[in-house]
Chain A
Amino acid sequence: MLGFDGVSFSWPAQRLLHNFSLAFAEGKTTALLGASGIGKSSLLQLLAGLHPIEQGKILVDRSQIAWMGQQDQLYPWLSVVDNVLLPSTLTGQPPDRHRAKYLLERVGLAHRISAKPHQLSGGMRQRVALARTLYTDRSVILMDEPFAMLDAITKLRLQTLTGELVKGKTVIMVTHDPAEACRLADEIVLLHHSPLEVTALAAPTGAAPRPADDLGLFTAQAALLTRLEAYDISSE
């Protein structure tokens, strides 16, 4: 079981969660959609244990969590390969250079392992972040708008690559992009705002399989946008 069980949490000036419960499907990709500032990223941060909760339980094995943020979070003083090896460095584990190089090869950066982050483009940096996220082979991956800062083409390529690399893992992804949600997620959770609370709604895609072709994707996006409009959770 992975999720929230009766959790309450407040920021200094705002109550975010009150007796909030939400379960995530294990081994699947769940997209969290909702308006800006509603608390999607906060949910991920709570799952990652970055903030103490007031009451309730967060059901997750934190040793199984890998994190990928909106910004690449690469450390500028480390080379590409050392950034990928960071989980080992920070936990005192022996570095697995073969795995780091394999992952860099998978994300198409085998030729840039010695480069420093400032020598890479935004898309390359995000690919390094993806390799670092997958390096520890953890079963739960939390992604906070991982492709939000990329151009459309790079975003599409990285989404496809991510879809391939995270197969079989439990992925919880915050996104503003309905197309991204339809492309990557098995389930989509809409978060909407009732005063000072967040409520999770049922997955709008239901049991329908992820759209396999462009037409299916387009139809799913249209359906999702209609639903977003109905709940008035646009980002504006």
Chain B
Amino acid sequence: MTSRLSNFFYFLGCVMALWVILTHQGIPDYLLPTPQQVGAAFVQQPTLLLSQAAITLSEMGLALLFGVVGGVIIAVAMASHRWIRRLFYPLVMASQVIPVFTLAPLLVLWLGFGIGSKVVVAALILFFPVCLTLFDGLSRVPQQWLDLAATLQASRWRCFWQVRWPAALPFFFSGLQMAVILAPIGVVLGEWVGASQGLGYLMMQSTARMETATSFAALICLMGLAVILSGVVQGLRRYFLWPTG
């Protein structure tokens, strides 16, 4: 843990040093603000940043809820019934051929500038890794574990909850980890295409007004949210997953 923290601070120090060096190369403030200017943006507008971060966080939370629940339902259905797998698997794969970036303007058009379009854009992006990794996990349960349940005449339902689901949990958490990394991308994408609030919107607005320091501050807030969510997933993973020795 100490080693990981020291590695993190070492990395952060390198980034800050590089940043400071670059700002002393005559690059104008509106292209690359100094760390002090970004710090000042935090100090001067804490309410604005916090309120926009709260909106983006709520969008990410809802997107995670819908994307993860949808991914889990489809994955479980595909793993449980062959005909559902045959029906949905090609659809799920095909859905990834269409870049969500191209769908975002349409979703904003259909769902409006409110929270709905951002949640749907992000949910569509993060649905895929959750669904596919969980389906993979449910399909790869060691046969010997299933055989044991079969010899004990376990019902299909009990076999699922007592064997297949716990066996697939490592896969589920891998998908969830990817989902929390993708959630900010989806939400900000939605906010860029059309929104009246949120960190993505704030970044667009401040960049347009040449207030790059505020844009950087919003970006750092977004990174912070992603790191917090990722930490929460890591914590859940440690709590729910069995140690492998």
Interface membership of A65, Cβ < 8 A: yes
Interface segment, one of B88-96, B127-135, B144-152: B144-152
Interface flag for A86 (CB, 8 Å): yes
A49 vs B151: C-alpha distance when bound (angstroms): 7
> In residues 193-214 of chain A, which contact B (Cβ within 8 Å)?
none
Of A89-97, A98-106, A156-164, the one touching chain B: A89-97
For this complex, into which size category does the number of interface residues on chain B fall?
20 to 34
Tell whether A77 pairs with B151 under 8 Å between CB atoms, given A71-B144, A90-B159. Answer: no
Q: Is the CB of A90 within 8 A of B243?
A: no
Q: Is the interface of B mostly helix, strand, loop or mixed?
A: helix
The reply to whether B150 and A50 contact each other, CB–CB distance below 8 Å, is yes
CA A20 – CA B50 in complex, angstroms?
Answer: 76
Distance of A158 Cα from B243 Cα, bound (Å): 27
> Which residues of B line the A interface, CB within 8 A?
144-145, 147-155, 158-159, 162-163, 166-167, 169, 241-245
- In the assembled complex, A218 has its CB within 8 A of some CB on chain B: no
- Chain B residues with CB under 8 Å of A77's CB are 166, 169, 241-242
Chain A interfacial residues counted at CB < 8 A: 26
Name the distance in Å between A32's Cβ and chain B's nearest Cβ: 17
Nearest A residue to B143, CB-CB: A50
Give B59 Cβ to nearest chain A Cβ, in Å. Answer: 34
For the complex, what is the distance from the CA of A116 to the CA of B169, rounded to whole Å? 17
Given A86-B152, A90-B159, A91-B154: A75 in contact with B245 (beta carbons within 8 A): no
List A residues at the B interface (Cβ < 8 Å).
45, 48-50, 62-63, 65-67, 69, 71, 73, 75-77, 86-87, 89-92, 116, 118-119, 136, 142
Q: Which residues of B contact A73 (CB under 8 A)?
A: 144-145, 147-148
Contacts of A136 in B (CB 8 A): 152
Question: Could you say which of B147, B241, B242 contacts A67, with CB atoms under 8 Å apart?
Answer: B147
* A89→B162 contact, CB < 8 A: yes
- Lowest 9 CB-CB distances: which A-B pairs, in order? A118-B245, A90-B154, A67-B151, A77-B242, A73-B148, A48-B151, A77-B166, A90-B152, A76-B242
- CA separation between A105 and B222, bound complex, in Å? 55
CA A67 to CA B152, docked complex, whole Å:
8
**Pairwise interchain contact B147-A50, C-beta atoms closer than 8 A:** yes
For B149, give its contact among A45, A62, A90 (CB under 8 Å).
A90
